[in-house]
Amino acid sequence: AQKVTQAQTEISVVEKEDVTLDCVYETRDTTYYLFWYKQPPSGELVFLIRRNSFDEQNEISGRYSWNFQKSTSSFNFTITASQVVDSAVYFCALSEAGQAGTALIFGKGTTLSVSS
Amino acid sequence: AAGVIQSPRHLIKEKRETATLKCYPIPRHDTVYWYQQGPGQDPQFLISFYEKMQSDKGSIPDRFSAQQFSDYHSELNMSSLELGDSALYFCASRRTGTPYEQYFGPGTRLTVT
C-alpha cells in the first residue's frame, strides 16, 4: 500500500536558519512520482516540485532544495535562509503511475513557523 | 496563466441540506480530482474523472456524487449534510500525457451548522 510519512508535525525556526522537512514514502510500484506542496495560512495548495522515481538527481530552486534517495525511500526538502513568508504547512505527496485517475496520497504535513 | 476555478469559495449550510460545488479546470486539462481537507488534516482524495468518465474513487461518502461535463467542468453534489462534512474542498486538474503534477484550485470552504 502507498503511504507517505512526515514525522515532523511542527518545526519552529528563526529567520535565516536553514530547515529540512523530512518525507518517507512507501510504494510497491517501480514508477511513481513524488511532490511537495505548500499550504500558506490563506489555504491554497501551491505546487513546489515533482520528482520521478527514475530520476534521482537532486534539485535546487533558489532557497529551496530537494534530496531524493530511493535507497532510503526519502524525499527531503530543505529551505535555506528561511524567511517569515515560508511559514506554512508543507505536504509531501505520492502518486503512482499507470492510470489517468491516479490520486495524490498526502503525508500529514509539517507546519513550519518562521519567526523574525 | 489560467488557474483552476472553484465556486463558491465559501458556503454555509445546515445539517441535512444539500450543496453543490463547482470546478472549472485549467483549459485543455482533461482530468479532474476532488479532495476533502478537514481542519488540521491532510487532503483526502474523493473521486476523479478523465474525459468525463469516473476514473478513480477514494473515500467519498455515498451521500456525495460527482460528474464531469462536456466542457470538462465538474460538480460535486453533497446531500444530507452532516457536521463532519465541514471542510475545505479542493478541485485539481491535470492534462494527461504531461508531467503528473496536479494544479489545485483555491478551494471551497464548506461549513455545516
DSSP string, B18-74: -EEEEEEPPTT--EEEEEEE-TT---EEEEEEETTEEEEE-S--TTEEEEE-TTS-E
Grid cell listed for A46: 501551491
**DSSP element (H, E) containing A61:** strand A59-61
Indicate the DSSP class of residue B80.
S
Q: Which residue has the higher pLDDT, A31 or A76?
A: A76
Q: Which of B56, B101, B106 sits opposite A35 (nearest CB)?
A: B101
Rounded Cα gap, residues A112 and A41, in angstroms? 11
Q: Which of A44, A47, A107 sits opposite B106 (nearest CB)?
A: A44
Mean predicted confidence (pLDDT) in A64-74: 94
3-class DSSP assignment, residue A97: coil
B20: closest CA of chain A, how far (Å): 20
Among B100, B108, B109, which would you mutate to test the A interface (most chain A Cβ atoms within 10 Å of its Cβ)?
Answer: B100
Q: What was the pLDDT predicted at A46?
A: 93
Give A59's pLDDT tier (boundaries 50, 70, 90). Answer: confident
A2: closest CA of chain B, how far (Å): 13
Residues of A in contact with B54 (CB under 8 A): 101
Q: What was the pLDDT predicted at B1?
A: 72
Per-residue pLDDT of chain B (113 residues; tens, 9 = 90+): 789 999 999 999 999 999 999 999 999 898 999 999 999 999 999 999 988 999 889 999 999 999 999 999 999 999 999 999 999 999 999 987 766 688 999 999 999 99
Beta-ladder partners of B7: B22
Grid cell listed for B76: 460535486
Q: Are B31 and B48 in contact (CB under 8 A)?
A: yes
Q: What was the pLDDT predicted at A41?
A: 92
Residue A93, Cβ neighbours under 10 Å: how many? 26
Beta-ladder partners of A21: A77
Q: Of B48, B72, B5, whose CA–CA distance to A100 is shortest?
A: B48
Rounded Cα gap, residues A77 and A67, in angstroms? 6
